[in-house]
A = this chain, B = another copy of it.
Amino acid sequence: MEPGAAGDCRPAKPGPCVSGAALEASAEPGSRMPTVAAVLPAGGCGERMGVRTPKQFCPILERPLISYTLQALERARWVKDIVVVVTAENQGAMESIIRKYRHARVSLAEAGVTRHRSIFNGLKALVGDKPGCELSKPEVVIIHDAVRPFMDEDVLLQVVLAAKEHGCSEYDLDFGTECLQLALKYCDTKAKLVEGSPDLWKVTYRRDLSAAESIIKERISQEICLVMDTKEETAHEGHVLEEVLKKELSNVKIMSGAMSHGNQDIQQFIFAQCYNYVCLNSRNADFHETQQLLKMLQDSNLSILYPVVVVSVYFLDCQAVPLSQKLESLMWIRELAKELKNRNILLSCLLICYPQDEQKLQENLKQAAIIITALIKDRNPGLVGQLLVA
């Protein structure tokens, strides 16, 4: 059984094709979900990548590709056990990935000389023929490429339901590779082609790593949380900035929250995994709001999986306070930003000149929106601690 990974796997003749809707209709309503496990063969050497690191360990935003695949599998809570099959020499690296990114339900098996032997070893680990093995025998096993990080739970579920109904052997639950051969082999048997989404593609070439990075960056840049204090003095400026951000970044969801009421607003944004914060500081207390936000972010461990962007914003009446004086007073933030970078929090400052002239103000606000977009879109750690001016 094969999800048709559109784009990089085109059978010469289209095989049987069942849409997601048709599949769900074909599953009996209220039928029991089978116990499910997953095996991730990750013993490949990535020779087509043109890089030395095996592709499953290549970093995207400094996190290895396989961690993204594990994260996607973990999202399906009904996948009980996940076995990653790696070569002996990569065992240590894989263990530290599991620790560092706090992957749960994951155990390891050793790769064999071929992909098929590796899968077999993974299955053996699941049926528990090792003494002391705690894994329980599952009814359905998903074999999933370690280098397909973008499958969604819906497709996985279709695969599992189809497996349950059509009784494919565990061995054939293979995403993508050799799909043509499998499709042909099983054309008149019980094989079913499950429609995959275009997202279900495989990182094969070096350019695919760039594409994956762009997709991931885009996914975590869909929401910006605008943090304000609730004092009168900056409430107006905050509102103005919010309006401009909403207008200029029409594809991004702008949410605003107050730094008060026990910080419930902000806690909610963190809980909802928003990775972008624009924090408006009051004119007098230089860094109070940002400091509070940073503490909450650090306590939450939100930045374990993705870099969190924090833009600390200051509105400045440039006629009352010289810009250079303000810049000088914020220089110490550069050191703080260096420390935070080690915790995967990318802090920059943005000074917005707030002139009397309405047209000039709108220009500056628009410029601020462009700078915020650049910081969030590129997520470049090389620019942390900089004091930018709009």
CA distance A208 to B201 in the complex (A): 12
Contact: B389 with A383, CB < 8 Å?
no
Could you tell me how many residues of chain A have their Cβ less than 8 Å away from some Cβ of chain B?
39
Q: Mark A26-39, 1 if CB is under 8 A from B, else 0.
A: 00000000000000
Q: For the complex, is A155 an interface residue (Cβ under 8 Å from B)?
A: no
CA distance A382 to B389 in the complex (A): 12
Closest to A334 in B: B389
CA distance A240 to B68 in the complex (A): 41
How far does the Cβ of A99 sit from chain B's closest Cβ, in whole Å? 28
Contact: B380 with A388, CB < 8 Å?
no
> Which of the residues B180, B211, B373, B374 comes within 8 Å of A208, measured between beta carbons?
B211
Contact: B383 with A374, CB < 8 Å?
yes
Q: For the complex, is A377 an interface residue (Cβ under 8 Å from B)?
A: yes
How far does the Cβ of A52 sit from chain B's closest Cβ, in whole Å? 14
Closest to A382 in B: B374
Contacting residues, chain B, for A204 (C-beta < 8 A): 7
Q: Mark A324-365, 1 if CB is under 8 A from B, else 0.
A: 110110010010000000000000000000000000000000
CA distance A370 to B212 in the complex (A): 23
Contacting residues, chain B, for A212 (C-beta < 8 A): 207
Contacting residues, chain B, for A211 (C-beta < 8 A): 207-208, 210-211, 214
Q: Offer 12 A-B interface pairs, CB within 8 angstroms, sorted by A.
A: A7-B8, A10-B10, A48-B198, A201-B207, A207-B215, A210-B214, A323-B327, A324-B324, A373-B382, A374-B382, A378-B380, A383-B383
Footprint of B on A, CB under 8 Å? 7-8, 10, 12, 48, 180, 198, 201, 204-205, 207-208, 210-215, 322-325, 327-328, 331, 334, 370-371, 373-374, 377-378, 380, 382-383, 386-389
